[in-house]
Amino acid sequence: MRPQFVAHAPVEENSSVAGALKNEFPLFGERPELIYLDNAATAQKPLSVLDAERDFYLKSCANVHRAIHSIGEEATARYEQARKRLARFIGARPVETVFTHGTTESINLVARTYGETLGPGDEIILSVMEHHANMVPWQQLAERRGVALKFIPVSEEGELDMAEYGRLLGPKTRLVAVTMISNVLGTINPVEKIVGAAHAAGVPVLLDAAQAAPSMPLDVKALGADLLAFSGHKMYGPFGIGILYGTERMLDALPPFMGGGDMISEVRLEGFSANELPYKFEAGTPPISQAVGLEAAADWLSSVGLDALGEYESALAQRFMEGIKGIPGIRILGSAARRAGIVAFTLEGAHAHDVAAYLDRFHIAVRAGHHCAHPLARRYGIVSSARASVGTYNTCEDVDTAIRVLSRAGEAL
Amino acid sequence: MSDPFAAVYEEIIHEHYKRPKYRRILEGLPYVENPSCGDRVRVSIRLGSDGRIADVAFDGSGCSISMSSADILAEDIIGKTPDEARQSIETFLSVLRGELDVDELDAFGDAVAFKGVAHLPVRVKCAALAWRAALTQIDSIDKPQMNAKS
């Protein structure tokens, strides 16, 4: 069987688990020299995910929810089975689990449905550390409907200012939409407290789980999330698919999002009536093979010791930070106490692009730029930073090599 | 990938980045920005009495590609008429867009160093930044003159 990450084990021990898991990723067979540290952007795909998608195309390719023919029935069954699996993956019911094309669409869906019920005098609370996907849809809504946006500030350490959050929450607040893990700073936000305070004020919460889904078990009921969004491709699944979870009460109350086939129960020339949940939000042909691939990704992630994975990734990030903090000119962004496997840093005198290009010469892939979080970069007074983010297949050796190469970057650039 | 001149190109880019000849502090001009990485640059162009570009300067912040490209742009268009400069810039940008073969850059001076960048879609934007700024700038200084003639 597959090796599993072990909680509270020495990092070297889990590193050998990661090294063994790496063999399940064909891309690393093609590129044995690659040290992939850009997992916060997208994760590589294990063979089981690729096989599942391929198997669907080879054996069951048909459209869903339409055909009477047996292959169409089979495609529908596989698609709905994938929904059940994803629902179980997050502790939800299938009726509450909507397939979208990714986190961005999931959040836009909420902004375009729930958001449309709001207007002047209503407020939405976000944080300064939000990814553009959880910022721009709300800015668009603010322009459309005159809703006011309030932002939870981020401290120098990279943590949310919870006292200020408490002050922002008020009778006008209609939604709190925050990320569980910062895609730049790696900060793990105190979701329990955020949700608790919001619910005490009678305000629903949307959690952006794009970075959390690949690293920790999600239980929407335990989290108390009213809405939760994530993407398949960051959790070792295919591109072009994501999930929007919503409580049945919440989703039921919302108008449909996109119009088209499958989201209707009846169409007349005068109008239409919307389909039941979750189909109400799945207009047109959905990402069917991707759903099958995502099911395989959920299976895969659940089989590697997801409980202990986050702890291992944090330990790797810690090792990386320890290794680079002594390098002259290195500045690490944020120093939150609870931190996932993501580290953003700058190197004095060198642009982040040049740092990333230098690392790339040694086959080390990191992200450079503002990581789709402009306001956060401004918060730290920087234009761009480099970011290393680890995943299930990254070993201590990967991290140590990156540290070694980075220690020479300053003089080379 | 294994271009025998890769190291030479890299050296040219590095030299212009570390020791730019045309970098000065400018004021009052708008920046041209690359929204994907936050790099920004502005370019000032002065025409001489002979109608040719007499002086070019730039300032801004960004990676080695965008900043060296600004310095190389300055070197390239000094001494040219606005039309010649426009043509040169259009050629350079067309190569970066993949519309012209990279060998077109052989006719350039140090801009030849960007042959290796032309197939890197993310960094192409960095290389194009100052050249785009220059194009706008040339249009704005050249137009009043054309009007005066007519």
The position carrying tokens 């072990």 is A6
User: Is A384 an 8 Å CB contact of chain B?
Assistant: yes
pLDDT at A39: 98
In a domain, B74, yes or no: yes
Tokens of A367: 């992200």
In this structure, is residue A290 part of a structural domain? yes
β-pairing verdict for A123-127 and A264-268:
unpaired
The domain of B40 spans 6-143
Q: How far apart are CA A4 and CA A304, in angstroms?
A: 4
Tokens 């020791």 -> residue = B19
Instruction: Tell me if A179 sits within 8 A of A208, measured CB to CB.
Output: yes
- If pLDDT is split at 50, 70 and 90, which confidence band does B2 have? low
pLDDT value at residue A264: 85
Domain end among A249, A281, A302: A302
For chain A, say whether B37 makes contact (Cβ under 8 Å): yes
Same domain assignment for residues A386 and A317: yes
CATH of the domain at A326: 3.90.1150.10
Position B38 scores a pLDDT of 78
Count of domains observed in chain A: 2
**How many CA atoms does the CB half-sphere of A103 hold within 13 Å?**
29
Same domain, A247 and A341: no
Q: At B50, is the secondary structure helix, strand, or coil?
A: coil
Q: A217 and A139, same structural domain?
A: yes
Pick from A152, A95, A141, A120: nearest CA to A277: A95
In a domain, A5, yes or no: no
Give the gap in angstroms from C-alpha B38 to the nearest C-alpha of chain A: 6
A163 and A265 within one domain: yes
Per-residue pLDDT tens over the stretch B71-89: 999 999 999 999 999 999 9
The pLDDT of residue A7 is 96
For residue B120, which of B103, B96, B102 has the smallest C-alpha distance? Answer: B96
Is the domain of A288 the same as that of A323?
no
Residue with tokens 């793990």: A188
Contact call for residues A44 and A393 (beta carbons, < 8 A): yes
Which chain A positions have a beta carbon within 8 Å of B61's beta carbon? Answer: 383
Chain B residues near residue A351 by CB distance under 8 angstroms:
39, 62-64
B62 contacts in chain A (CB < 8 Å): 351, 353, 383
Our answer to whether residue A61 is catalytic in this structure is no
Q: Are residues A293 and A315 in the same domain?
A: no
Q: Does the pLDDT of residue B143 top 70, yes or no?
A: no
Cα–Cα nearest to A357, from B120, B54, B28: B120
The answer, yes or no, to whether residue B149 has pLDDT greater than 70, is no
Which of A351, A377, A413 lies nearest to residue B62, judging by beta carbons?
A351
A243 vs A397: CA distance, rounded Å: 34
**Nearest by Cα to A319 from A215, A405, A399, A402:** A399
Query: Is residue A37 included in any domain, yes or no?
Result: no
Q: Does B63 touch chain A (CB under 8 A)?
A: yes
Flag whether B149 is in a domain: no
A363 and A280, same structural domain?
A: no
Q: Answer yes or no: is B42 within a domain.
A: yes
Q: What's the domain range around A400?
A: 11-32+305-412
Q: Tell whether B39 is within 8 A of chain A (Cβ).
A: yes
> Mean pLDDT in chain B?
89
Q: What share of chain B is helix, strand, coil (3-state, %, to 5)?
A: 55, 15, 30
Q: Which of A283, A302, A321 is the last residue of a domain?
A: A302
- Please check whether residue B11 touches A, CB under 8 A: no
pLDDT at B1 over 50: no
Contacts of B38 in chain A (CB under 8 A): 369-370, 374, 377, 383-384
Q: Which of A372, A376, A377, A396 is catalytic?
A: A372
Tens of pLDDT along chain A (413 residues)? 899 999 999 999 999 999 999 999 999 999 999 999 999 999 999 999 999 999 999 999 999 987 789 999 999 999 999 999 999 999 999 999 999 999 999 999 999 999 999 999 999 999 999 999 999 999 999 999 999 999 999 999 999 999 999 999 999 999 999 999 999 999 999 999 999 999 999 999 999 999 999 999 999 999 999 999 999 999 999 999 999 999 999 999 999 999 998 888 888 888 888 899 999 999 999 999 999 999 999 999 999 999 999 999 999 999 999 999 999 999 999 999 999 999 999 999 899 999 999 999 999 999 998 777 888 888 888 888 999 999 999 999 999 999 999 999 988 88
User: Residue A345: beta bridge partners?
Assistant: A332, A386
Q: Which two tokens stand for residue A305?
A: 């010791």
CB A149 within 8 A of CB A139: yes
Q: Using the beta-carbon criterion (under 8 Å), do A383 and B63 form an inter-chain contact?
A: no
CA-based nearest distance B90→chain A, Å = 25
Q: Is residue A123 included in any domain, yes or no?
A: yes
Of A247, A275, A302, at which residue does a domain stop? Answer: A302
Q: Is residue A78 part of a domain?
A: yes
Q: What is the Cα–Cα distance from A81 to A79, expressed in whole angstroms?
A: 5
**With contact defined as beta carbons under 8 Å apart, do A307 and A7 qualify?**
yes
Q: How many domains does chain B have?
A: 1
Which residue reads 């976000």 in tokens?
A: A126
Residue B138 CB neighbours (<10 A): 22
The answer to whether position A85 is within a domain reads: yes
Residues A59 and A165 in one domain: yes
One domain, residues A235 and A315: no
| Residue of B36, B61, B65 with shortest CB distance to A369 | B36
CATH assignment at residue A120: 3.40.640.10
Helix (H) / strand (E) element for A291: namely helix A288-303
Position A45 in a domain: no
Contact yes or no for B63 and A354 at CB 8 A: yes
Full-model pTM: 0.89
Query: For position B41, which CATH number holds?
Result: 3.90.1010.10
Is A138 found in the same domain as A64? yes
| pLDDT score recorded for residue B150 | 39
Domain presence at residue A40: no
